[in-house]
Structure 1
Amino acid sequence: MKVLGISGSMQPNGNTAYLVRKILEAVTEANAEATCEFISLGGHHITPCTGCLQCREKKECVITNDDWGAVAEKMVECDVLVIGTPVYYYDVSGQLKNFIDRTYSLWHDRRLSGKYVVTVAVNGDCGADRALETLEGFANAHEFVYAGSVTGRASLPGDIIGDTAACEAAVKVGQKIATLG
């Protein structure tokens, strides 16, 4: 089983990345045969979808001068996607939204259909529910099988470690992932 964790934070080692990695660690501990990979969109250049609709015919995104294609290919190859975001103004980060919008090119052939997904949102005070709705919309459009979600509360770097409920939920969902497939 291949599990891919994507953090939509521009902070490669931030609170969202911590929770996504915590899930991946729990998978590895519970299932030695699982292979897990973590990708932070921080440090990756992902341009917005231009709405050109050329992907309808070509069945792939025609934008090739950024990092989206390499990350997307890993997503196509995985069995389970763990996708997380910090909450910015009650929704997903802009970098993650760009990434999600570009997956329209994968939708035409249902290249993500049937994969499992776990969603993660970290907010400072509020807004995680709305961000999870956006991630759920992405998952539903691509016909993922929903395997759970984790919500964390953190404002400053490293605060997530003090959110014991979120950390425990991350371990539990990781253990659940380990039994899938």
Structure 2
Amino acid sequence: MKVLGLSGSMRKDGNTALLVKEILKPGEAAGIETEFVSLAGKKILPCLGCGKCKEKKWCVIEGDDWGAIAQKMIDCEVLVIGSPVYYYDVCGQLKNFIDRTYSLYHDRKLAGRRGIAVAVNASAGADRAVKTIEGFLNSHELASLGAVTGKGFTEGEVMDDDNAMAHAKVVGDKIVRLLRPRHD
């Protein structure tokens, strides 16, 4: 897959998922392979801080959904990763997921890809959540293609945020320009 959209929200079809999917639309329309994954309903255990991943080059925690999703990140060229804002930062489910990627850091398994940070807040905090996601992207040496923030609290409300929808299209079109020459 070329573009992976990942929503950290525990609401499968919530505002974060909708905004991430909006960014994927131009690529889908252009025939670029995309995939959307939601962490909703997924079991993502927290990092144990055991350090065993330094030797194993992969997280040693088993029995959850982290590994299959992490492999999709390794296989993509562009990662669109989003979170709802909880207490002015990313939600806990996404933070658990990000923390476990320390196991990918040792061999720079994500380096060279591109990334887009996405955050949706009801009233405030999206900037800080974006900074957290960008910290993850920068640590893993993904080049930033930008960030998209939106406002939404009630179901589907982000779709009424004209600025977010316009910016999602601009960033989605940027992905198409980046990948289309290699896939025509």
* Aligned mates of 1:39, 1:68 — CA distance in 2: 12
Pair 1:72-2:31 in alignment: no
Question: What aligned pairs does 1:3-152 form with structure 2 within 5 A after superposition?
Answer: 3-29=3-29, 31-32=30-31, 34-152=32-150
Deviation, 1:155, is: 1.0
1:175 aligned partner: 173
Letter in 2 for 1:24: L
The answer to whether the 8 Å contact 1:83/1:117 transfers is: yes
Runs of 4+ in structure 1 deviating by more than 2 angstroms, as ranges, are none
Tell me, which stretches of 5 or more residues in structure 2 are unaligned?
180-184
SS of 1:4 mapped into structure 2:
strand
Deviation, 1:165, is: 0.8
| CA displacement 1:20-62 (0-9 Å, x = unmatched) | 0011112222x32x10000000010000000010000010100
Aligned-residue RMSD, C-alpha:
0.8
Identity value in percent: 57
| CA displacement 1:57-80 (0-9 Å, x = unmatched) | 010100011000000000000000
The answer to whether the 8 Å contact 1:28/1:178 transfers is: no
Deviation, 1:162, is: 0.8
Letter in 2 for 1:26: P
Matched pairs, number: 179
SS of 1:180 mapped into structure 2:
helix
| CA displacement 1:95-124 (0-9 Å, x = unmatched) | 000000000000000000010001100000
Deviation, 1:148, is: 0.9
Tell me, which stretches of 5 or more residues in structure 1 are unaligned?
none
* Aligned mates of 2:81, 2:35 — CA distance in 1: 12
Deviation, 1:176, is: 0.3
* Aligned mates of 1:3, 1:95 — CA distance in 2: 21
Deviation, 1:82, is: 0.2
* Aligned mates of 2:86, 2:175 — CA distance in 1: 27
TM-score in terms of structure 2 length: 0.95
